[in-house]
Amino acid sequence: MDRRSFLQGSATALAGTALPLLPMAAMAADEIVVGSIIDMSGGLDIYGKPMADCMTLAVEEQNAAGGLLGKKIKLVTYDPQSNMQLYAQFAQQSALRDKSTVVMGGITSASREVIRPVLTRNKTLYFYNTQYEGGVCDRNTFCTGVTPGQTVAKLIPYAMKKWGKKVYVVAADYNYGQITSQWVKKFVQDNGGSVASIDFFPLDVTNFGPTISKIEAAKPDMIVSALVGGAHISFYRQWAAAGLTKKIPLASTTFAGGNEHIVLSPAETDGFLVSYNYFQNLDTPQNKAFKERFYKRFGSDYPNITELAMGTYQGFKLWAEAVKKAGSIDREKMITALESGISIDGPSGKVTVDAPTHHCVLNVSIAEVRNKQLNIVETFQQQPPVDTSAVCNLQKNPKDNQQYVIKA
C-alpha cells in the first residue's frame, strides 16, 4: 500500500490545561523514574489490570537484576479511570512533576492521542504498548503492539477460507474501531470478498438487539468484531441468546483482550477466531519460564495473561535494553539506541524495534476459542508493520508527527 492510500489524520486531541507544578524533592540520584498510566478502574479495567501486573513484574525483575545503570527503577503509577481528562492530567504530572524518564500507558487509541502530544511537548519518551490500528508516526513515541497489517492481514484470509466471503463488521465508535474496520474492508476485498455493512457503537452501548436483527437479515458468512470494553461484552451474550453463535461464525481483532473468553461461557464463544502476538499457551522455553515467574508472583489461579499485558511487559524490556545500550537515560540517546535495531527474545518470541516506524517486527498467531481456552491454529513468524511502514519513515522524516489513516 502506498502513501496515496492514506489520509493524514487529525486525531490529536487537546492535551488539557497544564497543571501547576507542585514542589517536589529532586529525583533520588540512585533512581530512574518510569511512569505508568493504565486503567485500573472504569470501563477499561478488564484490559488494564493484567497490564499493570505485567508492568509491576517487569520492574521488579529489572530491580532484582540490579536495576539500570546502577540505579533502581521507581515505578510511579496512575489510574486514569478511563477518563480522557485524567489521561492528560497524569501525563502532565508524570512528565513535569515526577520527571519520568519514560511513560508507558494508554489503552484505547483515544487515550493515546491525549497522552502523546503532552509527552512530545514536554520531551518525555512515550511507549504505547497495546495492539492498535496503526499509522502513528512520531519520533518521541514507540508503539510495541501489533497493528492490522500484522494481524488482520492474516486473520481475514484465514477466516474467509474457512467460512466464506460475505462479511459483516461491528466496531467500537472511536478511532480504533473506525480505522481497523477499514483495514478489515481492505483485506476482505483483497481476498475477493464483500462487506455487507460496518456498524459502529459507542463504548457505553449495551443493547445490540436491533443490530443483531439487521445482521441476521443480511445473512453474512461471518462477523468481524472490533468491539471494545466491558459494555460491549453484551454483544456476544445477546448474539448467543439469539441462537446465532452456531449459525454465523465470528472473528475478532479484540476479543479475549479483556479475558472475555473466560467471562463468557463456552456456549457463547466456542469457535471464535482471534489473532494476536501473544497467547499464554505458546509452547516455548521463554514463555514457560515467564509463566512460572508470573504465577509465582500473582498466583497460580490467575485467569489469563493477555496480549495487552504481554505488550506491556515486552515494551518495558525493549526500553530497558535501549537504556543499557545507550548507557544513559538521555532521551535522544535512548531514541538512537532504540533505532539501532534493539531486539529481545520475549515470551511471545523475538521482538525487534523497526527503526523507520518505531513499531515492532514480531510473531503473529491465529487462535480458536474452545472451552475458555485460546488454541493456536497457525503462527506467522516475524511480521513487519507493513501498514505503518507504507507511510512512515522517521529516519527520512524525523519531524513527522501525526497519525496516518487508511482511506475508506
In this predicted model, what pLDDT tens digit does every residue of 312-344 receive, in sequence order?
999 999 999 999 999 999 999 999 999 999 999
Is there a single domain that holds both residue 251 and residue 297? no
Distance CA 314, CA 223 (A): 31
Q: Is the pLDDT of residue 4 over 60?
A: no
Give backbone dihedrals phi and psi of 236, rounded to 5 degrees, phi first. -65, -35
pLDDT of residue 27: 47
Is residue 375 domain-resident? no
Q: What tens digit of pLDDT does each residue of 118-173 get?
A: 999 999 999 999 999 999 999 999 999 999 999 999 999 999 999 999 999 999 99
| 388 neighbors 150 (Cβ within 8 angstroms) | no
Is there a single domain that holds both residue 298 and residue 211? no
Full domain range(s) for residue 296: 3-147+283-361+384-406
Longest C-alpha distance within the chain, in Å? 65
Distance CA 128, CA 308 (A): 10
Q: Report which secondary-structure segment, H or E, holds 50.
A: helix 45-64
Between 7-16, 327-336, 366-375, the lowest mean confidence (pLDDT) is in 7-16
Q: What tens digit of pLDDT does each residue of 162-218 get?
A: 999 999 999 999 888 999 999 999 999 999 999 999 999 998 899 999 999 999 999
Is there a single domain that holds both residue 182 and residue 37? no
Give backbone dihedrals phi and psi of 68, rounded to 5 degrees, phi first. -130, 135
Q: What tens digit of pLDDT does each residue of 266-321 get?
A: 999 999 999 999 999 999 999 999 999 999 999 999 989 999 999 999 999 999 99
Three-class SS of residue 153? helix
Is there a single domain that holds both residue 184 and residue 237? yes
Q: What tens digit of pLDDT does each residue of 17-27 get?
A: 333 333 333 34
Neighbours of 20 (CB within 10 A): 7
Is there a single domain that holds both residue 298 and residue 394? yes
Which CATH number belongs to the domain containing residue 389 in this structure? 3.40.50.2300
User: Parallel, antiparallel, or unpaired: how do β-strands 166-172 and 141-143 relate?
Assistant: unpaired
Cell digits of residue 128: 504505547
Is residue 205 domain-resident? yes
- Residues contacting 386, CB < 8 A, separation 6+: 1, 149, 150, 153
Is residue 106 domain-resident? yes
Neighbours of 89 (CB within 10 A): 21
Go through the chain and tell me how many residues it has.
408
Angle between the N-to-C axes of helices 209-218 and 233-241, in degrees from 0 to 180, rounded to the nearest 10 = 60
Is there a single domain that holds both residue 43 and residue 68? yes
Is there a single domain that holds both residue 197 and residue 298? no
Cell digits of residue 37: 498510566
Distance CA 220, CA 209 (A): 17
Cell digits of residue 82: 478511563
Is there a single domain that holds both residue 181 and residue 215? yes
Closest CA to 385 of 137, 127, 108, 140: 137
| 164 neighbors 221 (Cβ within 8 angstroms) | yes
DSSP letter at 93 equals I
Distance CA 98, CA 35 (A): 8
Is residue 374 domain-resident? no
Is there a single domain that holds both residue 140 and residue 218? no
Is residue 371 domain-resident? no
Residue at a domain's end among 230, 258, 276: 276
DSSP letter at 64 equals H
Residue at a domain's end among 276, 293, 309: 276
Distance of CA 270 to the CA centre of its chain: 24
